[in-house]
Chains A and B, each alone.
Chain A
Amino acid sequence: MSPPKKREPGIGRKLLIFLCLSSVLLIVACTRAPTTGWSGPTMNDGVLYVGSIEGKVIALSNVTGTSPVLKWEKEFESKTSGGLFACGASLSTPMSTYGIPAIGGAPGEEKLYVGGYDGKVYAIRLDDRTMSDYDTGSAIVGSPIVASGMVFVGNSDGEFYCLDLQLGKRWVFETGGKIWSTARVHDGTVYIGSADHKLYAIDIESGVERWHFEAKGAILSDPLVANGTVYVGACDDYFYAIDAATGSEKWSFKANNWFWTKALFYHDEIWVGSLDHNLYVLDANTGVKKWVFETEGMVQSPPVLVGDKIIVASGADKGDQRGKLYKIDPVARIAGELKSFEAPVLAPLYADTVNGIIFVHAQNGTHTLYAIKVDDGTQLWQRDTSD
C-alpha cells in the first residue's frame, strides 16, 4: 500500500489567492494616500519655526547662516488616522500639520500656536516648551492667528473658534462648510472664508456676524484686507473685491481655475496666483488684468515681497512634480526662475526681508526646508524636516 500523497495546492487555489490579493491591491491602489500636511515656516527673534510631517514642531536657530542648528523640537501626542487603507481608522500615522505657526502673548510669555490635523490647537511656551491644547473636534487646516489678545482658528466641521491666549473658549461661530482658510483681523472684524461658498465678517468681541458675501464656489483661500476692501479668491475661478464695511461686491475677475491662495497688495495692484498656473496682476480698484505670468505648476503658495522683488512659488503639476521659485521685478515686469526643487512647493513661503532670504518648505513624501538667497538664488542650506 503506497503512502498517502501530500496534496499540492491546485491551480484553482492559486488563482483564488491571486484574485483576492489583486482585489485588495486594486482597492488600495485606487485609494488616496493619507494626509501629509504642508506647514509654512515663521520666524521670531532669529528662530525659525515650522511644523513637520511627523507631527512635530521644530525650532531652528542660525538660519541665516549656512548651517542651522536645531534649537528644540516638540512632538504632539496625538495621531491622526491613515495607514494601510489610506483612510483607515484602525491604523494611525503621525499627525500632520498645515498652516503656519503663530506667535503671540505678553513679552516673556510668548507661545507658539499650532493647528493640528487632529483638531487640536496647541500652545507651546517658547521659554520652557510646556504645552497645552484645546480640542476643536475636527481637523484644522488653516493657520491659527493671534490678534487683539485672541487666537482665531477654524476647523473642518465649519466651526470658527475665538480662544484666549490660554486657549480658553470665548465664542464659536458656525458656518455651513469646512473652514480651511486662515482668518484676517482688521478694525475689530475678523474675516473668514468657508467651503459653504461664503466669506464671513464677524465682530471679534461678540462673535456676531456683521455680513457675509456669497461666491459661487467654496472659499478656501485667505482673505486680504487693504484700503477698505476685502480681496479673496474662490473655487469658482473668480477673484472678488468686497467692500469691507458692507460686504457688497466691488468687482470680480475670472481665471481658468480656482484661487487657492492669498493675494499680495503692492502699489495699488493685486498679485494673486491661481491653480491655472498663472500669477495675475490686477488693478486693485477695478479688477482689470494688468499683467500675467505663467508658471510651470499650480500656484498654491502666496507671493511675497522681498525688498523690491516679488517671489512666487509653483507647486505640482500632473506631469511634473518639481517645484519652482520665481523672482519678479514688479515694475519692469521681468520674471525669471530663481530656484528649482525636486518636490513641489505647497506651503506658504517665509520672507526674511532683513537678510534677503526666502525659506521654502517643499514636500513630496518627505518634507525639506530650504533657505535661498533672493539675490542670486544661492541655497544656504537645506534640512529634512521629516527626520
Chain B
Amino acid sequence: MEFFEIVLLKPTLNILVVLSNVFFHDFGLAIIVLTILVRGAMLPLTLKQLRSSKKMSDSMREIQPRLQQIKKKFAKDPKKLQQETMKLYKEAGVSPMGCLSSPMLISMLIQIPIFIAVYRAIIQALAVTPQDFLGLSQDLYSWSIVHESLPVSGTFLWLNLGSPDPYLIIPILVMVTMWISQKMITQPSLEPQQQSMQNMMQLMMPLMFGFITFSLPAGLGLYFVVTSLFSIATQYFVYGWGNLSNPFKRSAPQPAPAQKPPRSYREEPDVSEEEVEPGSDKKEVAKSRYGGGFSRSSKTSGTKQRKGSKYEKHQADITVDQLSDRDKGGKHGKSRSKR
C-alpha cells in the first residue's frame, strides 16, 4: 500500500494540484488535462489491448461454426470435447481465457492501479471536509507551487466539483458516454449465454456508474466522463464506430470483416427452415444463438442468397445440425436436392 502511495498516488496528487495552478486555478480543467495526460501516456498499451482484443474476437467468430460442430459431435464425451476445443483454439491462435489472456491481462493490470490513483488523487485534492484537507498535508511534496494552489477551486462551469451535480447532467453524461464506449467495442457473441451477459453488462455498468455519480462529488463524475470520451476516441481509431453503427440492434453476429465465409457455407448456402424438423429444438437453438429479435431471417431463409449483405441473413438461419451435416456432405443438402 505504501508502495502504491509513493509511486502512484502522491505523484498523481501533486501533479493534479500543480495543474490546477497552471490552468488558471481551475480544478475542473486540471481534472480534464490530467485524465487526458494519463490516458495519453497509456495509449500504446490501450491500443495494444484493443487490437489484440479485436484480433481475438475475429478469430473466435471465424472458428465458431467448427466449434459448434465439435460440441455437437462430442456432446457425450466431455473429455474429448475439451481436447478438441483446445486443439481448435490452438490452431486458430485464440486464447480460451478471452480478455484475460496475456498480453491483455498485463495491460489491464498496469492500467487499473493508475486509474485508481487518479480517482483517489481527485478525491484527496478536492478535500471536501476538514479531515480530508488535514490528511492532504501528509501527501504533498514541499514544492511551494503545490501549497500555493490549495485549497483548489471547486467551481467549474455550473458545477461545485466537491458536491453532487444538482442538475444531474454529469450522471447522465457518465451513463451515455460509458454506454457508447462499451457498445462500440462489444463484439457480438454466438454463445447465447455470453451474449446475454454482454447485453446486461452494456446496460448495467453505465447505469451503475451513473447511479453512483448521483451521490459522488461532481469532480469524480467529470473524470468518468472524460475517461469515457477518451476511450470512445481511441476505440474509433481501432474499431471505427463498431457495434454503435446500429446501436439498438440486439448484437446480432456478423461475419468477420475481410474474411471469406467457411467453405461449407459457400458450397451449400441455401437452407430453409422447413428443414428443421417440427417439434425439434433446432430452431430454438438457432434463435437463441442469434438473439430473440432476429426472427426476420425466417422470411428470407428459403431463398438462395449468396452475395453481399444477404449472406448475413442466410448465416443467421443455419442451425447447428445443418452446420454439422454440411461439413460431412450433409443429408439436408441431399434431401433438398431431391425435392
Mark out the residues of chain B between 142 and 158 whose CB falls within 8 Å of any chain A CB in the assembled complex.
Answer: 142, 144, 147-148, 150-151
Contacts A12-B193, A16-B204, A23-B205: A30 and B131 contacting too (C-beta < 8 A)?
A: no
Which residues of B are found within 8 Å of A218, using beta-carbon distances?
150-151
Q: Indicate if B128 sits at the interface (CB-CB under 8 A).
A: yes
Which residues of A are found within 8 Å of B130, using beta-carbon distances?
35, 38, 98, 141, 180
Q: How far is it, in angstroms, between the C-alpha of A197 and the C-alpha of B152 when the chains are bound?
A: 12
**A13 with B150: CB separation less than 8 A:** no
**A236 with B193: CB separation less than 8 A:** no
Q: How far is it, in angstroms, between the C-alpha of A98 and the C-alpha of B133 when the chains are bound?
A: 14
Q: Indicate if A105 sits at the interface (CB-CB under 8 A).
A: no
Q: Indicate if B258 sits at the interface (CB-CB under 8 A).
A: no
Contacts A13-B197, A30-B119, A300-B134: A87 and B128 contacting too (C-beta < 8 A)?
A: yes
Which one of A31, A180, A216, A298 lies within 8 Å of B147 (CB-CB)? A216
Q: How far is it, in angstroms, between the C-alpha of A346 and the C-alpha of B129 when the chains are bound?
A: 14
Q: Indicate if A217 sits at the interface (CB-CB under 8 A).
A: yes
Total number of A residues with any Cβ neighbor in B under 8 Å? 50
Q: Indicate if A137 sits at the interface (CB-CB under 8 A).
A: no
**A20 with B204: CB separation less than 8 A:** yes
Q: How far is it, in angstroms, between the C-alpha of A377 and the C-alpha of B172 when the chains are bound?
A: 57
Q: Indicate if A88 sits at the interface (CB-CB under 8 A).
A: yes
Which residues of B are found within 8 Å of A33, using beta-carbon distances?
131
Which residues of B are found within 8 Å of A13, using beta-carbon distances?
193, 196-197, 200
What 0/1 pattern do residues 1 to 17 of A give for CB contact below 8 A with B?
00000000010110110
Q: Indicate if A195 sits at the interface (CB-CB under 8 A).
A: yes
Which residues of B are found within 8 Å of A32, using beta-carbon distances?
123-124, 128-129, 131-132
Q: Indicate if B326 sits at the interface (CB-CB under 8 A).
A: no
Q: Indicate if A258 sits at the interface (CB-CB under 8 A).
A: yes
**A260 with B216: CB separation less than 8 A:** no
The chain A residue with its CB closest to the CB of B135 is A32
Q: Indicate if B7 sits at the interface (CB-CB under 8 A).
A: no
Q: Indicate if A237 sits at the interface (CB-CB under 8 A).
A: yes
**A31 with B216: CB separation less than 8 A:** yes
Q: How far is it, in angstroms, between the C-alpha of A113 and the C-alpha of B196 when the chains are bound?
A: 60
Q: How far is it, in angstroms, between the C-alpha of A10 and the C-alpha of B215 when the chains are bound?
A: 32
Q: Indicate if B194 sits at the interface (CB-CB under 8 A).
A: yes
Total number of B residues with any Cβ neighbor in A under 8 Å? 38
Q: Indicate if A85 sits at the interface (CB-CB under 8 A).
A: yes
Which residues of A are found within 8 Å of B144, using beta-carbon distances?
216, 236
Which one of A87, A141, A197, A260 lies within 8 Å of B163 (CB-CB)? A87
Interface of B is mostly: helix
Contacts A36-B131, A177-B151, A195-B151: A30 and B123 contacting too (C-beta < 8 A)?
A: yes
Mark out the residues of chain A between 198 and 248 whose CB falls within 8 Å of any chain B CB in the assembled complex.
Answer: 216-218, 220, 235-237
Which residues of B are found within 8 Å of A23, using beta-carbon distances?
205, 208-209
The chain A residue with its CB closest to the CB of B129 is A35
Q: How far is it, in angstroms, between the C-alpha of A19 and the C-alpha of B311 when the chains are bound?
A: 37
Contacts A12-B193, A35-B130, A180-B130: A89 and B147 contacting too (C-beta < 8 A)?
A: no
Which residues of A are found within 8 Å of B150, using beta-carbon distances?
217-218, 235
What 0/1 pattern do residues 27 to 44 of A give for CB contact below 8 A with B?
100111111101000000
**B148 with A88: CB separation less than 8 A:** no
The chain B residue with its CB closest to the CB of A15 is B197
Q: Indicate if B138 sits at the interface (CB-CB under 8 A).
A: yes
Q: Indicate if B212 sits at the interface (CB-CB under 8 A).
A: yes
- With most chain B CB atoms within 10 A of its CB, the pick from A15, A85, A177, A300 is A85
Which residues of B are found within 8 Å of A257, using beta-carbon distances?
137-138
Which residues of A are found within 8 Å of B137, using beta-carbon distances?
235, 257-258, 260, 275, 298
Which one of B116, B134, B197, B216 lies within 8 Å of A16 (CB-CB)? B197
Which residues of A are found within 8 Å of B138, using beta-carbon distances?
257, 275, 298, 318
Q: Indicate if A70 sits at the interface (CB-CB under 8 A).
A: no
Q: Indicate if A90 sits at the interface (CB-CB under 8 A).
A: yes
What 0/1 pattern do residues 158 to 194 of B give for CB contact below 8 A with A?
0000111000000000000000000000000000011
- With most chain A CB atoms within 10 A of its CB, the pick from B133, B214, B215 is B215
The chain B residue with its CB closest to the CB of A176 is B153
**A178 with B151: CB separation less than 8 A:** yes
Q: Indicate if A288 sits at the interface (CB-CB under 8 A).
A: no
**A85 with B123: CB separation less than 8 A:** no
- With most chain A CB atoms within 10 A of its CB, the pick from B124, B138, B200, B214 is B138
Mark out the residues of chain A between 53 and 103 whose CB falls within 8 Å of any chain B CB in the assembled complex.
Answer: 83-85, 87-91, 98
Query: Interface on A for B, CB 8 Å cutoff?
Result: 10, 12-13, 15-16, 19-20, 23-24, 26-27, 30-36, 38, 83-85, 87-91, 98, 141, 177-178, 180, 195, 197, 216-218, 220, 235-237, 256-258, 260, 275, 298, 300, 318, 346
List, sorted by A's number, 13 A–B pairs whose CB atoms are closer than 8 Å.
A12-B193, A16-B200, A26-B116, A27-B212, A90-B214, A90-B215, A141-B130, A217-B148, A235-B150, A237-B147, A260-B134, A275-B138, A298-B138
